[in-house]
Every structure is written in C-alpha cells, then in structure tokens.
Amino acid sequence: MNHEQLEALYGPAAKFSDHKTGETVRFTENGQEKQGTIIHVMAPGKTVGGIEHGVRYVVAAKERGFPSVIEPGAVLS
C-alpha cells in the first residue's frame, strides 16, 4: 500500500512519535510477543465510534494476517 491508501484506511499520519514507519519493533498482542514492521503511524484522533485515542502504530507482523494496530505501551524495548 502507498501512503495515500494507508491514510485513507487508518487516518492521517502522526507528525511526532517515538517510533517511525519502516522501523522493526517487538510488541505484545493478546499476551503473545510478536515482531513486525511499522507500516503507518496513526495520528491521535477519534475512532469511528467517537472514542478518543492517542498515537497508534499499524504493524505488519511477521506472522501472516491483517496488520496489528497497537498502542505505544505494547512496544517492547
């Protein structure tokens, strides 16, 4: 996907974040440790349901399937 397609799907890109697009990160999801590449950094905003959220990372995990949307706290150092 290109930048415009990612923004259409996940919303505008964040201007500031601890981790950047293209960076490989380890993270936890559903109690499991995973690793993947950040494909988009979502800017803070509201979900479709109107719930406020901060920066989120869209990560293409090495396991096949849909990308994971994770919060900064899920990233392992």
- State phi, psi for 74 to the nearest 5 degrees: -85, -15
pLDDT at 15: 93
Domains of the chain: total: 1
pLDDT for 32 equals: 92
Question: Over the stretch 40-71, which tens digit does the pLDDT of each residue have?
Answer: 999 999 888 888 999 999 999 877 789 999 99
DSSP percent split of the chain into helix, strand, coil, nearest 5: 15, 45, 45
Parallel, antiparallel or unpaired: strands 24-29 and 32-42:
antiparallel
Per-residue model confidence (pLDDT) at position 36: 95
Report CA 9 to chain centroid distance, whole Å. 12
Q: Which domain holds residue 43?
A: 3-76
Q: What is the CATH number of the domain that holds 28?
A: 2.30.30.140
